[in-house]
Every structure is written in C-alpha cells, then in structure tokens.
Amino acid sequence: MYLPKKVEIVEVGPRDGLQNESRFISTEHKVELINALSETGITRIEATSFVHPVHVPQMKDAKEVLEKITRKTDIQYIALIPNQKGYDRAIQSNVNAVALVVGASNTFNKKNVRMSREESMSQLESVIYRAKEDGIFIRFDIATSFWCPFEGKVAVNEVMKMIEQVEKLDVDEIVVCDTIGRANPQQVYELFSNIFEKSPKAKIGAHFHDTYGLAQANTLAALQAGVTVFDSSIGGLGGCPFAPGAAGNTATEDLVMMMHEMGIETGIDFDKILDCVELVKPLTERQLTGHLHKIQRNTTATTQN
C-alpha cells in the first residue's frame, strides 16, 4: 500500500463546521476555538467567510473574529469569499489566504451564489488576479465534484474541465470537494488519479463530508491516488446551507488518529485536538459526527463504574 510520509490537514471547523448552526455562536466562542486550534500544531485554519449575512447569518461577525483572534505568524488564516466585495472586506481584515468556491454542478452553483458555473468563473477571474497582485494565497474549492443534491452524479469530465480552467488562472491550490458526502472510494481514486495524470501546478486537496460514513474510506483512496492535503472539521461539524442532506465534514480528531496510526506525520498534537473537541461540544445543539469523542465518553463511564 502506498502511503506518504506526511500530510497537511486544513482545519475548516470555524467556517464550514459552524456555518450551518441555527443558533448564533458568539464571537468570543469562535475566537476561543480558533485560538485553541492554533495551539495544536495545525498551520492552516479556515477561520470565517465574508458572505452576506442574509445568506449565512452565522458568519456576520467575520471582521470581529479576525480582529480578536491571537494570530501566529506560522499559521495561514483563510477566509472564504464569494466575490470582489467579499475580497475587499477580507483584505481589510488582514487575511493571508482566501478560498473561492464554484460548483461543478450548475444547479448547485445557482442555489449557492445565484449564478451559473461559467458566470462564477468569469466573475472570480478578476478576484484571482487581484489576489495574486496582493500576494494572497488562493485556494479554489470545486464543490459537488462527485455528486450534486439536485442533479445526481457529476461526470468526471466536467470536473476535469474545471480543473483545466482553474489551472490556467494559476491559483495556489485546488480543493476537490465531496459536498454532500456521497462519493465512494472507487470514484475518489478515479478522479484524483485523472487529476494527477495531468501533472497540475497547483496543490491538490481533498474535502470530504461523512454523510454516508465513507469519509475515512474516501480519505484512504485519495491518499492512494497521491493526495496529501485534507480538509477536516473539529468534532465532525459541518454541512452546507445550500446542499440538502449534507452532513458534517471529516472529523479532525478521527483523521489525525488514522494518520498517526498508519505512521503518517501531521505535525498535530493529538491530545490538544481532543481538548478542542470539548470546546466545540457546547457550541452546537447537534450530535457531533466524529467517533473519538464517543469512545472517550464510553471509556470514562466504564472506568467510573
């Protein structure tokens, strides 16, 4: 079995993990979580998004969050932006990386940003050029790369066309996303193998949701295909407001444990990550989808009995 010596884990919990929470989470709690994650060895955190608060109310305090966190010079603080206006706001808040999102599925993209895929690509070109001039790291997320909640299975050639388009824009990183957690390991291996056959200049990352319980299996398939950058969310929180039925992301603590068990370095302190799970628990009214916190709880109960 092919396994890399090291992987990079991008923590998306403060943005992707919390955005779907119906109850507003205080700025102070968000700041506390980001600061705690910054102490774990994670070097890349998707901290917030500059979307219109009407569409994603949970992110209405993006500016305040970025003002109040204790920044570390070796950490990349990423903000998701939908357009030029969002980019301007992000730059004013001194982010050092931005994430752009376009759906491989036209229907999803229209639900998400009220534009066709091609309209989104055209609009974001100017944002990318501006970010390059400003020296900002650019990650480009291709949503619904495997399945769409409205159109069904997404054809590999559609995603490959998008990869080719994005590569021409010279972004730093392209993230292939299983937005609704419907992909299977064979699909994952096939798509990433096709991508790496083209020898992309950009870093290639994977973003899995665990709706069908296949996030870890899909992670292993992506590893086999050559992926070494993985998004995850503390506690397994997550979901997309515009993708019905999408469950949480790959749980960071589960992903770190799996990598360490296989002898793959992450640079992350496992005990500190588990402490972060405890911080997340009271912030949500939903059940965490990660597995380790359940095992810990049961082990503690057994010991006390």
Residue written as tokens 């990598």?
259
Signed CA dihedral, 131, 132, 137, 141: sign only: positive
What average pLDDT does this structure show over 241-262?
Answer: 84
Q: What is the pTM of this model?
A: 0.94
Res 46 pLDDT > 90: yes
Tokens of 210: 């665990």
- C-alpha–C-alpha distance, residues 167 and 176, integer Å: 13
Residue 278 CA to residue 219 CA, distance in Å, equals 24
CB distance 174 to 208 below 8 Å: no
Q: Is 276 a catalytic residue?
A: no
Element holding 76 (H helix, E strand): strand 76-80
- Fold adopted by 8-304: TIM Barrel (3.20.20)
Q: Contact at 8 Å (CB) between 252 and 9?
A: yes
Helix or strand holding residue 8 (H, E): strand 8-11
* Span of 115-119, 194-198, 232-236, 237-241 with lowest mean pLDDT: 237-241
Note the pLDDT of residue 302: 35
- The domains of the chain are located at 8-304
Quick check: 1 pLDDT over 90? no
**Residues in CB range of 58: below 8 A, 6 or more apart:** 18, 19, 20, 21, 24, 25
User: Sorting pLDDT into bands at 50, 70 and 90, what band is 113?
Assistant: confident
Q: Does the pLDDT at position 292 exceed 70?
A: yes
Which of these ranges, 104-108, 165-169, 248-252, 290-294, has the smallest mean pLDDT?
290-294
- Higher local confidence (pLDDT), 26 or 115: 26
Q: Which two tokens stand for residue 84?
A: 């030029």
- Residue 280 has a pLDDT of 94
pLDDT at 240 over 80: no
Whether 275 shows a pLDDT value over 90: the answer reads yes
What would the pLDDT profile of 133-186 be if each residue is shown by its tens digit? 999 999 999 999 999 989 999 999 999 999 999 999 999 999 999 999 999 999
pLDDT at 283 over 80: yes
**According to the model, what pLDDT value does residue 300 have?**
42
Which one of 148, 177, 240, 276 is the catalytic residue? 240
Q: How do residues 55-112 score in pLDDT, each as one tens digit?
A: 899 999 999 999 999 999 999 999 999 999 999 999 999 999 999 999 999 888 888 7
Confidence band, pLDDT 50/70/90 cuts, at residue 298: low
**E strand or H helix that includes residue 128:** helix 117-134
Task: Identify any residues that bridge with 231 across adjacent strands, giving them in sequence order.
Answer: 10, 207
Q: How far is CA 82 from CA 93, 138, 171, in A?
A: 16, 13, 16
